[in-house]
Amino acid sequence: MQIRKVNFSKFSSIRIGGEKEVYIINSPDEVDRLPPDTKIVGGANNLLISPSSKIPLGQLSKNFDYIKISPPYLHIGGATPNGKIFNFTKYHNIAGFEFFQHLPSTLGGAIKMNAGLKEYEIFNNLVAIRTERGWIDKENIEYSYRSTNIEGVIFEAKFKLIQGFQSHLVSIFQTMRSNQPKEPSLGSTFKNPKEAPAGKLLEQVKLKGFRVGNMAFSLKHANFLINLGGGKFSEAVELIEIAEKRVLEEFGIELEREIEIIY
């Protein structure tokens, strides 16, 4: 099986992880040949990876980077970057992917995380996904806010083909993202508990701008853990654990991580 070296300190959006060997998956039948418990990596925009982790990693090859219009559906490969999907759907006047601008992801990662912005979620127009076990209809997948029960590798997905790209949504989403920091991050660190937005809770326990080494909760948006340059995995984990402890002690709320840590 093909193996590629990936430097996660450059590749991951938070610029942490060091160099690792990654199995490149060229077809669904190769999944059986992956070591047990291989973790699939998309664009590593939601993964905090320990440089010393021994967990095997796998990634889809470019064979799964495609978009095909096939009425009444739109077929998209699991390795297709969101930016490409946004540009394609804008060009072809297709609705439903307007929120993909500035949402760094591959399609597989976005589906697994049920990525979105407020009520605009990738599952809204999803019809089915294709894994190594074949096609699975949306009705047979459990999904909720930033979470799904999908097991296996997402090679492709099928969406309703809806005409009418909605430009006005793009500017609304741009305004919604205007408080996001520019430094390397993984987006929101914690899911928003029903009681209050995670960023507000972090602010209230005095963690906005709080720094350990070269990692910090952003002054611009406390729920973004940012790398100030050369930040370490251990510093990021320390900050996450401090936040969880303080919010629990102060408000009795157990923060749930939106990012995934690979120890």
Q: Which residues are catalytic?
A: 146, 188, 258
**Pairing label, strands 126-131, 134-137:** antiparallel
Q: Rule CB under 6 A: choose which of 31, 40, 85, 255 binds ligand FAD.
A: 40
- Closest to ligand FAD by CB, 42 vs 96, is 42
Whether residue 74 contacts residue 162, with contact meaning beta carbons closer than 8 Å, is answered with no
Whether omega for the bond prior to residue 72 falls within 30 degrees of 0, making it cis, is yes
44 belongs to the binding site for ligand FAD (CB under 6 A): yes
Q: How many residues bind ligand FAD (CB under 6 A)?
A: 32
Please provide the size of the chain in residues.
263
Q: Rule CB under 6 A: choose which of 48, 60, 202, 243 binds ligand FAD.
A: 60
What is the CB neighbour count within 10 angstroms for residue 178? Answer: 8
- Closest to ligand FAD by CB, 105 vs 165, is 105
110 belongs to the binding site for ligand FAD (CB under 6 A): yes
- Interacting positions 64-103 with ligand FAD (CB under 6 A): 78, 103
Q: How far apart are CA 55 and CA 120, in angstroms?
A: 33
Q: Determine the interface stretch with ligand FAD among 185-193, 211-219, 225-233, 249-257 (rule: CB under 6 A).
A: 185-193
The least CB distance from residue 14 to ligand FAD, in Å, is: 7
- Closest to ligand FAD by CB, 34 vs 246, is 34
Q: How far apart are CA 154 and CA 28, in angstroms?
A: 9
Q: Determine the interface stretch with ligand FAD among 45-53, 211-219, 236-244, 245-253 (rule: CB under 6 A).
A: 45-53
- Closest to ligand FAD by CB, 44 vs 205, is 44
Q: Which of 84, 204, 239, 85 is nearest to 259 (CA)?
A: 239
CA torsion 247-51-60-97 (nearest 10°) is 30
Whether residue 58 contacts residue 153, with contact meaning beta carbons closer than 8 Å, is answered with yes
- Interacting positions 193-252 with ligand FAD (CB under 6 A): none
- Three-state SS string across 37-53, please? CCEECCCCCCEEECCCC
Q: Rule CB under 6 A: choose which of 113, 126, 205, 239 binds ligand FAD.
A: 113
57 belongs to the binding site for ligand FAD (CB under 6 A): no
Q: Which of 126, 75, 43 is nearest to 85 (CA)?
A: 75
* Interface with ligand FAD (CB under 6 A): 13, 39-47, 60, 78, 103-106, 108-110, 112-113, 115-117, 146, 153-154, 180, 185-187, 260
